Chain A
Amino acid sequence: MPVKTKKIKEEKQNVSDQKGKTNGIPKLKFNSGWEYAPAPESTSHIQLKDRYDLFINGKFTKPSSGKYFETINPATEEKLSEVAEANAADVDKAVKAARNAYVRYWKKMPGRERAKYIYRISRMIQERAREFAVIESLDGGKTIRESRDVDVPLAANHFFYYAGWADKLEYAFPNRNPQSLGIAGQIIPWNFPLLMAAWKIAPALAAGNTLILKPAETTPLSCLKLAEIIQESGLPEGVVNIITGFGDTGAMLVNHPDIDKIAFTGSTEVGKIIQRAIAGTDKKLTLELGGKAANIIFEDAPLDQAVEGIINGIYFNQGHVCCAGSRLFVQESVYNTVLRKLKDRIETLIVGDPLDKNTDIGAINSKSQLDVINKYIEIGKKEGAEFYQSGCNIPGKGFFCRPTIFTNVAQSNRIAQEEIFGPVLAIQTFRTDEEVIEKANNTPYGLSAGVWTDKGSKIFNLTTKMRAGVIWANTYNKFDPTSPFGGYKESGYGREGGLHGLAAYSKL
């Protein structure tokens, strides 16, 4: 039924395009029989245990509650393994281990020696890159192309980059003698589990801190694999502790009195709860929270590249990206052309098995996230925005969502204001530079933005006026260990990556 209505709309759009702005672009045909043969990555070389314990003080330790929870493959809904649920006693044990390691070894170790351990971890991730990539795709639902080419190499590079800082900290902060903070409690989300672990662990270790990391409950496996590497690397016991659990385990970590620093990546809602929870204490806090990025296309932009940028901006990692370009602003004069190209392009996207190398969009991370996305799609329709979805097939089992766009979106619509964290794009139009700057900045968030135009001076007019921490000009969703990442306004504070990322873990 929804498929049928969609087809009708598509034809209407086609007719109006030809009659109206005569951009003369013929509708592409996708029924020509092109089929991709399945190209699944093998899972034979990966080793997953049936059950994972907590990584505390260099050992895998049974949870004191004796409780375990399942982690499933969101593409098949099948159980992959089960992991321990840490309670208050376990958190306390981990914090004690971290404190002990901080006082006994890590604080005293010269930076150049710390560096060698961090380099080792980086090298070992590289050695086991394929295993990490497959586990990341199995547990989180992201495509193997992405975990292989983005998540895993970037995670390894992040360790490598920060390793080099460990004995050069005094060069990072002029006229200061930076000291470590102590014990860091780090809570990371499910969208980039290994990469976020690297973003948290690498700078903390380089700056001389010890830590307790808690991965998200739906994606603990790559972090537990990382724990195995850390064990193998010979890193002193207790310097890195990795504990699994749900939100309340995270809360216990945040509230533990012997923590000096909290680093959180996740939703703005939880970020605010954490900020309140540690109020009145001297715990240092950095937050990397939600976003609702504007991706702005001017009429003079290289449109084909821009359309690729939009696709990458919103559908990369199923849209589970805090910096996703979820609001598209198209200059009116090229609106019909861009919309046509965009619709054509999303028809070619393959949604399905994350392990298949042809797949463009993998599985939604969890049932509950799929529910959130579907809820927002309903909200968008009810608010009167025009709904369009690709006609692609999706697997019968597992959690999947077709690439979706909404047109005729009003600035006040919830789909234009709230973070959806899924493959849903809200499209608006504009006429002048001033108008789009105003609209793009009209959000409580400020994590990222994109600008597409051929004119250099216009790029820098826009990039200086966007109130956001990361701005991509004629590109989108690019990351690098040397490049600071983090938000303005309600997207959080503090930076991860680059020289600025060290400040989050240093006392100046």
Chain B
Amino acid sequence: MGKLEAKNSSFSISENGLEKQVTNARVEVLKTYKIYIGGQFPRTESGRYYVATNNKGEQLANVCLSSRKDVRDAVVAARSAFKGWSARAAFNRGQILYRIAEMLEGRKTQFIEELVQQDVSKSQAQKEVNIAIDRLIWYAGWCDKYQQIFGTVNPVASSHFNFSVPEPTGVVAAIAPQDSSLLGLVSVIAPIIAGGNTCIILASETKPLCSITFAEVINSSDVPGGVVNILTGKVSELATQFAAHMDVNAVVYCGNDNMVQKDLQTKGASNVKRIIIHKDVNWFSDQGQSPYFILDTEEIKTTWHPIENIGSGGAGY
């Protein structure tokens, strides 16, 4: 699929006008690339689209040009899903991330095809899909472990039991890396949801095809609707909407554009957003995965509890 003309069919124009030639091969069903909000696949509310092309400028698909309203709808969906997702047992989140990897493994061929359409060589595409699957598995394993690495029991001097644990920051908006259609997206989503956050992801503007296909994978992987929301569109339009939205707790930006960074940090101050910038990360290497990426969108909560200290006086009330 991809090119808008049907393969194996041919048309010829005679002097008398349109005249069908004899090829009767099956006409391929083209896929409509929609966006993914709250577990549904709506079209952009704005009704706008843009044309995704390959490097030669050939048309690959009409893709939703998401609007501010789509961002808002996605934030509402992500916020509603947050309570449930953050309260899931860490083990359960791990199983669900693993399930995403299973589903992705099963649809490998489709992703390889889409990557090839988007100018990735076949072998490179295979590699990218494999790393994406392995990365999901890697983060699946982290779901119930990062708390043990980053949590502490604090030996306070008073008569209290005191401990600190990481907790999800809430709704995270993320701008996926531009140079990769699948792996960048997966590398950004996985640590956010492994840590119990819900998210809105803006897919690569120039390479958007895999993002919506990946949404189908998410949709069939027991990930509750609203935990991952995927939009396609322009960084220049939507980054600023992410930063200004008062119900977004953090924005992750993968890119080097200083104007975008400045805009995110300026507008993000409206509700003291956590702005996480990933510059020059090679997502294909081991540098592209880290439990510290999970920590980026976590808060540390410290709890104090008195210890009754009979005999030596002074309970910790």
| Pairs across A and B, CB under 8 Å, 20 listed | A271-B272, A272-B270, A275-B268, A279-B266, A280-B261, A280-B262, A280-B265, A444-B271, A463-B303, A473-B306, A474-B317, A478-B304, A480-B162, A482-B154, A482-B156, A483-B156, A483-B304, A488-B299, A493-B299, A498-B152
Q: Which of A223-231, A351-359, A464-472 lies at the interface?
A: A464-472
* Residue in A closest to B268 when the chains form the complex, CB atoms: A275
Q: Determine the distance from Cα of A489 to Cα of B317 in the docked complex, in whole angstroms.
A: 28
Chain A residues within an 8 Å CB radius of B305:
459, 473-475
* Residue in A closest to B277 when the chains form the complex, CB atoms: A282
* Residue in A closest to B162 when the chains form the complex, CB atoms: A483
Smallest Cβ distance from A181 to chain B, in angstroms? Answer: 15
Sample of 15 further A-B pairs with CB below 8 A, known A176-B292, A280-B258, A492-B272 = A272-B270, A275-B272, A276-B266, A278-B265, A280-B261, A280-B262, A444-B271, A470-B302, A473-B303, A473-B306, A475-B304, A478-B158, A488-B169, A489-B170, A500-B300
Chain A residues within an 8 Å CB radius of B169:
488
Chain A residues within an 8 Å CB radius of B4:
none
Question: Which 5 pairs across A and B sit closest by C-beta, in order of nearness?
Answer: A280-B262, A279-B265, A275-B269, A480-B156, A279-B266
* Contact present for A279 and B154 (CB under 8 Å): no
Tell me the chain A residues, 6-62 only, with Cβ under 8 Å from chain B: none
Chain B residues within an 8 Å CB radius of A469:
299-302
* Contact present for A498 and B154 (CB under 8 Å): yes
Residue from B170, B263, B300 with most neighbouring chain A CB atoms (10 Å): B300
A484 close to chain B: CB less than 8 A: yes
Chain A residues within an 8 Å CB radius of B162:
480, 482-483
In the complex with contacts A279-B266, A478-B158, A484-B272 CB distance below 8 A: no
Q: Determine the distance from Cα of A273 to Cα of B272 in the docked complex, in whole angstroms.
A: 10
* Contact present for A276 and B261 (CB under 8 Å): no
Chain B residues within an 8 Å CB radius of A489:
170, 249, 271-272
Q: Determine the distance from Cα of A174 to Cα of B290 in the docked complex, in whole angstroms.
A: 11
Q: Determine the distance from Cα of A463 to Cα of B156 in the docked complex, in whole angstroms.
A: 19
Enumerate chain A interface residues (CB-CB to B < 8 A): 157, 174, 176, 268, 271-273, 275-276, 278-280, 287, 289, 302, 305, 308-309, 444, 459, 463, 467-475, 478, 480, 482-486, 488-493, 495, 498-500, 508
Chain B residues within an 8 Å CB radius of A491:
272
Chain A residues within an 8 Å CB radius of B302:
469-471, 483-485, 498
Chain B residues within an 8 Å CB radius of A280:
258-259, 261-262, 265-266
* Contact present for A480 and B157 (CB under 8 Å): yes
* Contact present for B304 and A484 (CB under 8 Å): no
Chain A residues within an 8 Å CB radius of B249:
489
In the complex with contacts A482-B154, A489-B272, A500-B152, A475-B316 CB distance below 8 A: yes
Q: Determine the distance from Cα of A473 to Cα of B271 in the docked complex, in whole angstroms.
A: 28
Chain A residues within an 8 Å CB radius of B316:
475, 478
Q: Determine the distance from Cα of A409 to Cα of B258 in the docked complex, in whole angstroms.
A: 46
Residue from A268, A486, A500 with most neighbouring chain B CB atoms (10 Å): A500
Chain A residues within an 8 Å CB radius of B99:
none
* Residue in B closest to A463 when the chains form the complex, CB atoms: B303
